[in-house]
Amino acid sequence: MIHTNVELHNVAELRRVDPFEGLCFQRVPEDVRSCLNEGAQGAMLHPACVEIRFVSDVPTTKITLSCPEGTTEVLVFFGLFQCPERFQIGRRPQTIEVTLPEQIRDLPPALNGPGTFAPCVRRVVLGGSPAFLHDVEGEGLRPPAPDEVPALRYLAYGTSITHGFNATGPHLCYVAQAARHLGADLINLGVGGSAFCEPELADYMAGRDDWHVASLALSVNMIHHEFSLDDFYERVSYMVNTVAGADRARPVFCITIYPYYGDHWNVLPPECKGRPEEFRQRLRDAVAACPYPNAHLVEGRDILPDISGLATDMIHPSDNGMIDMGINLARVMADDVGLDFATDVNPSGQ
């Protein structure tokens, strides 16, 4: 969406939330958010890979943000070039100065090649607790032009792993890494702890016309929230069929549950209605039964083949695990559908 001459990427709505000042970033519209489970309603207010993007005629632009409850981390990129400084936004409104370095200002616009971020695009990337926008100050502001951002748009849905939990920066979550290697622009709809595959969210994703490829990580959260195998199958079937069926030209990659501690414990908590492998099989069955050829099954073990990629909680990947997962997912997505823009995927991203 466009707000005060800047683009708010991965933002569907700005809302005033009493009693807080400023406008809260929201990743889905309120009429969709209100249909989700309580955890997902809260998670959609977390700015997972939300970006404030703009091009400016002057060197410095000021952006004022706050995070009334918790903290929001802010990183600044100029195109693909990351500024080393990180900002921690807290309760009180804080103004960040975004100054285009001379070294970046003098770069040729096409340095990064076609179909990616131009160095002139200033990207203020957010991750963490719900953040509020207070002001954007600067002269000559405009949203990026279409040829200054990636043409390919990638939508990702999933659990806290997709949301980016445990990554030390929002740009390091595996879907952001996959987008980087694919040369794609990420729309992150990960919902930490609450990816319950509601039909309203499936309908919303299917109805969006601003993405070209999607991944659905389905969904370890449902194991630990008393969903039966039949309930799981019904929900994932609806999501797979609805999202894939909306436009058969858009590949949809359906990812089975990633390896985690549940694969190694002899006894799962009593609320679990099946073993992880049983839930994985139900997703396999759902994709096999899907009548649309653009629905592709991806095994979570192929994306996270080495369990040492997990952090010590044995469910969320570490930074290294996230990076490896992004590379592996980008390769699978490229290989399965022959996407020309991803033929040069490699670990270094060069």
328/11 Cα distance (integer angstroms): 27
Decide if 348 is inside a domain: no
Please tell me whether the peptide bond between 19 and the residue prior to it is cis, using omega within 30 degrees of 0. yes
Within this chain, do residues 166 and 301 fall inside the same structural domain, yes or no?
yes
Task: Report the pLDDT value the prediction gives residue 269, as an integer from 0 to 100.
Answer: 75
Domain final position from 148, 173, 202: 148
Tokens in use for 58? 């002057």
What is the chain's alpha carbon radius of gyration, rounded to the nearest angstrom?
20
Q: What is the mean pLDDT of residues 237-255?
A: 97
Decide if 250 is inside a domain: yes
Q: What is the mean pLDDT of residues 21-28?
A: 96
Question: Contact 191/253 with Cβ under 8 angstroms?
Answer: no
Contacts of 78 (CB under 8 A, 6+ apart): 100, 101, 104, 119, 120, 121, 122, 123
Read out DSSP for 56-114?
-SSSEEEEEEE-SSS-EEEEEEETTEEEEEEEEE-SS-EEEEEE--HHHHTS-TTTT-T
Domain that holds residue 205: 152-342
Within this chain, do residues 237 and 216 fall inside the same structural domain, yes or no?
yes
Within this chain, do residues 75 and 195 fall inside the same structural domain, yes or no?
no
Tell me the whole-structure pTM to 2 decimals: 0.94
Within this chain, do residues 222 and 279 fall inside the same structural domain, yes or no?
yes
Kindly state the percentage of the chain with pLDDT values over 90. Answer: 84
Report pLDDT digits (tens) over 43-68. 999 999 999 999 998 999 999 999 99
Within this chain, do residues 117 and 259 fall inside the same structural domain, yes or no?
no
Number of independent structural domains in the chain: 2
Within this chain, do residues 73 and 180 fall inside the same structural domain, yes or no?
no
Domain of 264, CATH number, reads 3.40.50.1110
Contacts of 19 (CB under 8 A, 6+ apart): none
Within this chain, do residues 118 and 192 fall inside the same structural domain, yes or no?
no
Decide if 124 is inside a domain: yes
Task: Report the pLDDT value the prediction gives residue 115, as an integer from 0 to 100.
Answer: 67
Q: How many CB atoms lie within 10 A of CB 107?
A: 16
Q: What is the dihedral of CA 312, 313, 314, 316, to 10 degrees?
A: -100
Within this chain, do residues 165 and 219 fall inside the same structural domain, yes or no?
yes
Within this chain, do residues 111 and 167 fall inside the same structural domain, yes or no?
no
Per DSSP bridges, beta strands 132-137 and 60-66 are antiparallel
pLDDT band for position 344 (50/70/90)?
very low
Answer whether residue 316 shows pLDDT above 60: yes
10 to each of 83, 200, 230, how far by Cα in Å?
A: 21, 18, 33
